[in-house]
Amino acid sequence: MDRVITIPALGDNFIYLYQYREGRALAVDPGESSRVLRVLRERRLKLGMILVTHHHGDHTAGVAELKRETGCVVGGPAARHQAGLDHSLVDGQILTAAQKPIKVIATPGHTRAAVCYYVQGSDAGRAGMLFTGDTLFVAGCGRIFECDAAAMWESLRRLARLPDDTLVYPGHDYTVENLEFALTIEPENQAVGDRLRQVRQAIAAGGNTVPSTIAQEKLTNPFLRVDSLEIREALKMSAAPAAQVFAELRRRKDVF
């Protein structure tokens, strides 16, 4: 019964509704409320919970209205700017309201208080799911606003250690631009070119570019590939520590 509904919003945001129990959904990063309320009505789902990954308005602007309309509870990382939280969540915490445990993974980098949500897979072969906010994107990662590059690198490494088949649900659709950047850094990486073609086809057919998987990200996301010889040679950083290669990649992406 695991079902994730992807709701594109605000141009390039993704809001997710995860049906965590029969007839009940939780919303991840509702940057607006009206589309979420409409989908809830159409699917006859009750909103039980909102989980936010970080305090930015394009991930939280719908929280107050959704809470008012549905009486749901709101969880997220404790942050100075974060209003309306019922539960301040910390690293390693396990949420048990859903049929499957949801683990909170702290991922500072984009913002100081930032978390991802990991829904474990099942022994029956069902893949886990990871809601990554503005930490990990398809073929990219978030800009570093409140921390240093080393913190973001450490957060991404934690995510990359999750099982390969984990489905990745990021907070934005920057997929095409990210893959185009990846190709400039690693033009010989066939997987990047293949992925870009697949993604363009999916968009042309009216589909979304999510979810990805951890395995796909390890093959095509330059920010998880700082050990690639081609990347290191492109950056002229053959012997540099991984965190420095990551920082240089992020710097280049900022001005891409």
Active site residues: 54, 56, 58-59, 110, 134, 172
Kindly tell me which of 134 and 248 has the beta carbon lying closer to Fe ion: 134
CB of residue 143 to Fe ion, shortest distance in Å: 8
CB of residue 191 to Fe ion, shortest distance in Å: 27
Task: Please report, as ranges, the residues that interact with Fe ion according to CB under 5 A.
Answer: 56, 134
Query: Measured between alpha carbons, how far is 69 from 77 in angstroms, rounded to an integer?
Result: 23
| Residue with the CB atom nearest Fe ion in the bound state | 56
Measured CA to CA in angstroms, residue 79 lies from 9, 135, 225 at distances of 24, 16, 31
Contact, 38 vs 155, CB < 8 A?
Answer: no
CB of residue 173 to Fe ion, shortest distance in Å: 14
Strands 167-170 and 212-213: antiparallel
Query: Measured between alpha carbons, how far is 104 from 106 in angstroms, rounded to an integer?
Result: 6
Within 8 A by CB and 6+ apart from 19, the residues are 1, 2, 3, 4, 5, 25, 43, 45
Kindly tell me which of 134 and 186 has the beta carbon lying closer to Fe ion: 134
Kindly tell me which of 56 and 103 has the beta carbon lying closer to Fe ion: 56
